[in-house]
Structure 1
Amino acid sequence: MQARTHHWDAASGEALHPAGREALLAALDKGYADPRRLHGSGRAARLLLDNAREVTASCLGVRADEVSFTASGTEAVHRGLLGLVTGRVRDGASVVRTAVEHSSVRHALDWRGTPQVEVPVDRDGRVDPDDVRSAVGSADGGAAVVAVQSANHEVGTLQPVAEIAAAVPDVPIFVSVAASAGRLPLPSGWSVAAASAHKWGGPAGLGLLLVRKGARWRNAFPADDRIDERVSGFENVPAALAAAAALQAVVAERDEVGRAQAALLDRIRAAVATLPDVEVVGHPHARLPHVLTFSCLYVDGEALVTELDRHGFGVASGSACTASTLAPSHVLEAMGVLTHGNVRLGLPWPTADHPMAAVEAEVDRFLALLPEVLVELRGRIGL
């Protein structure tokens, strides 16, 4: 029988935070109108949208006029990155990016036909600022932008964004903070950033675009006559308010929750590392507090995910965005680590209905279960 599933894939997306759910339900009745209109319901919607922007800015330490809401995190990446490239056409032709960037970065640049200079990472998935400096110096036609994520969505490794910005002071930094926003403070040194609300427990289908005041960003897509000139389409006011409420709740607890989750992952990391033919990947210390990835030799990743799900643990395998294609993860390949039999754990944010004590109990059961599952799967192929 299928066991009750514990969602251990928070790196792909969290359940809607209770604070976000409450705000969403309230806003559905008041935030339906066009916030550009001057009638009462329009003014009410505009007030909610402005409030969402103010709260989000306060949580992230940015200005309210630097915050834009998009239809997804992917759209935020596309608009943010290509807008920065457009604003820098006279300064450079190429984009320098790390080898482990999210696929949305590469897809956006391929679509525009922008030359790309790929910077390698070490075995922990971390890029060296000196390598970025060298890549900028060798970029064909000059470097317009450097694209670097704050943290890797597959292995949790944090990137030295501030150090990279210091190494290339004349080139603006585009940073995807999708994996870390809410859980960690934003790094310094960036000009444009992108995030996705469902990663911190906001509603799915809402992205966040942050454009620093003074950044040379130009809209690379058709303009629209909405409130925010950086985006297009009718604003999803209830979702924006729900995302802001969830972010505010998460930021208020992140230090305490982060310490607790990091301690649990240290336990898992130490136990998994003792298993035969298992490799724990990602930086041991400079990492997200809730993400852990390991690879198992002689085991098919999809079979491992299926078996763990049958026992009640919903985890991810392979690339965070291409697992459905069964293609090897470009992140793991770039790191030079084992790409098969890969599992990514993303511990969920605790709530009143699912407190940290419950997660701790789940960890105990997972550590008891995993060796049995590996023996079972390897036994199927005669090992």
Structure 2
Amino acid sequence: MTHTTRAPRVRLDNGGRAPWHPLAREAFEQAMDDGWADPRRLHAEGRRAAALLDGAREAVASALGARTEEVVFTPSHTASLHTAVAALAAGRRRVGSRVVVGAVERAAVLHAAEHGGLDRVVVPVDGSGRVSAGDMSDAVSQPGAALAALQHANGEVGTLQPLSAVHGSARAAGVPLLVDAGASLGHVSVGESWDALAADPGDWGAAPGVGVLALRSRVRRRSPFPEDPEPFAPGGVSVPAAFSAAVGLQAVLADREAQDSRRRELVDRVRTRVAAIPDVEVVGDAVDRLPHVVTFSFLYVDGEALLTELDREGIAVGSGSACTSSTLEPSHVLAAMGVLTHGNVRIAIDRSTTEKDVERFLGVLPDAVARVRAALGVEGL
């Protein structure tokens, strides 16, 4: 009997949930033994857990250029974004209720910006997914602006935003800027152009179940939750997850430059080769972008069908909107950019992605697209 060996699966959907970084996993397992206790307890076990948590906050703060007391861990990235919007808006409620956001922000930010009586003001983006610094400046300068929210980079198309210019305008207007660095921290330099910042440890290969929230001491805020010893994360968070987040972040920052050049070369290869397939649109800024993300959309192709076809070939990719992909609804990001919203494939590679993985994907993709088009009866168009 002849046995056919199946090729190992290729995972190219690593945005927000990257595979474990080995050091992050090791840190998590160590903290399961040393940091299992409640860090608020005064016994030896509690003090060890508290020491791990304090060390994790210090390490993340150092990476962000912040003070240790300015960093807290939350249950998730979404929780960080919700908490930041609510806390900053509550701290400035006497000023107004307007929350200025970019059109391609995560759904978590867009929803929080109109929750609880807040008035969301959406600033449009250009075809690459970037806001105009001038438009943001005009919006934050209007009376009643409580805060502004702008992602550092879009996790769906990779485009970087003009953070420095927007932060300068916001500071001049006395409006705090919340930066969503969930897709960028660990991949590119975040810089200091922020007043509040949220980041996602899962995106750099750390344990799930924890988020990062940094709030500059100078920024007025008010906890949106009932009184608790942890005002921005009631009940506290998993110490092992927080420790994993800190160790994982230190690890990815240590070799970021080497990873950057390798991943940019692979993404550039994908952008070039995919563009040769008929009726495709490669989206996002080609240069000023994240090093590991690329998105493209096919005309006459159903995104869910293409996702399934590639999955049968042993290749996992993203599709639809990066923050609502479980619904496979048309992406609000792509819609805001004015580009194709269907037949979408999103790739986010990580340190484990090899040249062989990318070549296998590129070899399979044209035939997969052709099969989906044939099933829809649109061959030869």
TM range (shorter): over 0.9
Matches within 5 A, 1:1-383: 4-138=8-142, 141-168=143-170, 169=172, 170-225=174-229, 228-350=230-352, 359-382=354-377, 383=379
| Residue aligning to 1:353 | none
Greater Cα offset, 42-51 or 371-380? 371-380
Tell me the CA shift for residue 74 of structure 1. 0.5
Residues 131-166 of structure 1: CA distance to partner in whole angstroms, max 9, x if unpaired? 11222244xx52111110001121111111111111
CA contact (8 A) 1:192 1:210 kept: yes
Tell me the CA shift for residue 3 of structure 1. 5.0
SS state at 1:155 partner: coil
CA distance in 1, matches of 2:314, 2:165: 41
CA contact (8 A) 1:150 1:187 kept: no
Residues 217-257 of structure 1: CA distance to partner in whole angstroms, max 9, x if unpaired? 211122212xx433211331111111111111111011110
Residues 100-147 of structure 1: CA distance to partner in whole angstroms, max 9, x if unpaired? 010001222232120011100000000011011222244xx5211111
Matching residue's letter, 1:364:
E
Tell me the CA shift for residue 49 of structure 1. 0.8
- Percentage identity across paired residues of the two chains: 48
CA contact (8 A) 2:74 2:232 kept: no
Tell me the CA shift for residue 64 of structure 1. 1.1
SS state at 1:174 partner: strand
CA distance in 2, matches of 1:234, 1:215: 22
Matching residue's letter, 1:343:
V
Tell me the CA shift for residue 92 of structure 1. 2.5
Tell me the CA shift for residue 72 of structure 1. 0.4
CA distance in 2, matches of 1:321, 1:235: 23
SS state at 2:178 partner: strand
Residues 245-298 of structure 1: CA distance to partner in whole angstroms, max 9, x if unpaired? 111111101111011101110111011112110000011111110000000001
CA contact (8 A) 1:281 1:337 kept: yes
SS state at 1:324 partner: coil
Tell me the CA shift for residue 12 of structure 1. 3.2
CA distance in 1, matches of 2:140, 2:64: 29
Tell me the CA shift for residue 30 of structure 1. 1.3
CA contact (8 A) 2:16 2:200 kept: no
> TM-score scaled by structure 1?
0.94
CA distance in 2, matches of 1:339, 1:187: 32
CA distance in 1, matches of 2:338, 2:245: 37
SS state at 1:106 partner: helix
Tell me the CA shift for residue 307 of structure 1. 1.0
- Deviation above 3 Å: which 4+ runs of structure 1? none
Matching residue's letter, 2:198:
A
CA distance in 2, matches of 1:23, 1:281: 37
Residues 178-206 of structure 1: CA distance to partner in whole angstroms, max 9, x if unpaired? 00011112233211111111011111110
SS state at 1:42 partner: helix
